[in-house]
Amino acid sequence: MLTRRHFNLIGTTLAAGAWAGAARAAEPNLPVAKIISGFPPGGTLDVIARRVADKLRGAYAGAVLVDNRPGAAGQIGVMALKDSPADGSSLLITPSSMLSIYPYTYPRLRYTLDDVSAVSLAAHMDHGLAVGPGVPDSVTTLKDFLAWVATHPEGANFGSPGAGSMPHLVGILLNQLTHTDLRHIAYRGTVPGVQDLLGGQISAFWGPIGDYLQYQKVGKLRVLAVAAPARSVFLPQVPTLRELGYPLNVREWYGFFLPGKASADVQRRAAEAIGQALALPDVVEAGRAYGLEIKGSTPAVLQQMLQADAQQWRQLIRQSGFTAES
């Protein structure tokens, strides 16, 4: 007699078979490929990079490695891709900040949008402001925090994953809207910044909410607000900045890119393989555990998103007078 368990096993076997079939159908023509990340291991970006790398092995290339190149607020990763062969053996996964914001905040940026070719969207995410044990437990709202820093200038600071990143920019814009002067502290990625937040070395941190979830659940930090158009499905109890009276509503995304000289055929093959990987249930679920809404796209869709974001941020940055050194 077939039970529900038997049907589940059959479904799992069929799904695995379908993936294996897709892998065989897309015979790898690359012995080795790598996914470059401009940030250290352990953060949300690294989670997606490694999950996708696992799924691409055998389908896209014989071996697929993750190459972490932290430094210069993610710029090193983009520059590493720029100097790589355009045969599909080198991919970049990056937050949108490096491409949609940095061209307008770094006067001597060593790459342009022409140096990358869009492949696929990877995920959407929201940024939030969190405070840790360096701030009294009585501080539970953004209003509380602003009042506290007004009387404790030694604690008037916030960290971000890197100078010029979207979280940094949101923090500076919030400074302007609230007429506060929180000193910015740049980190080489989210992980070291959150560790300093948990250790009390800094008061607050702007970064991806996925990197807060495990600590929020056990009370080691408190997320006070999110800079998103709507409340996050992962932290529905946390208000948006817009709800609190501050007109900041931005979302960031992760995307996969090839070197700018990659052919349309190389783009297509990479997009198909990555799209199949991102659609797998275990990859989607892994993303949810880190506050990420996993979603692939065509190269054309990602290129349109990048151009729209770049236009939006160019105008906003010019209006605000923001620079990476702010």
Dihedral (C-alpha) 288, 289, 290, 293: value to the nearest 10 degrees? 0
C-alpha 237/C-alpha 223 separation (Å) is 10
Instruction: Please list, in sequence order, all residues whose beta carbon lies within 8 angstroms of the beta carbon of residue 6, skipping any fewer than 6 positions away.
Output: none
Contact in structure between 291 and 126 (CB atoms under 8 Å) = yes
The better pLDDT of the pair 92, 71 is held by 92
Q: What is the pLDDT of residues 54-69, one digit of tens each?
A: 999 999 999 999 999 9
Report CA 52 to chain centroid distance, whole Å. Answer: 15
Structure tokens at 237: 């109890």
Residue 297, SS3 per DSSP: coil
State residue 8's pLDDT score.
44
The CA–CA distances, whole Å, from 80 to 98, 245, 322 equal 13, 41, 26
Q: Give 42's pLDDT tier (boundaries 50, 70, 90).
A: confident
| CA separation for the pair 105, 18 (Å, rounded) | 46
- What tokens were used for 191? 């992980």
Residue 163 has a pLDDT of 85
pLDDT digits (tens, 9 = 90+) for 185-207: 999 889 899 999 999 999 999 99
d(CA 183, CA 39) in angstroms, rounded, equals 23
Longest CA–CA span in the chain (Å) reads 71
Residue 236's CB is within 10 A of a number of other CB atoms, namely: 9
Q: Is-contact 234 291, C-beta < 8 A?
A: yes
User: Cα 244 from chain centroid?
Assistant: 24
Is pTM beyond 0.85 here?
Answer: no
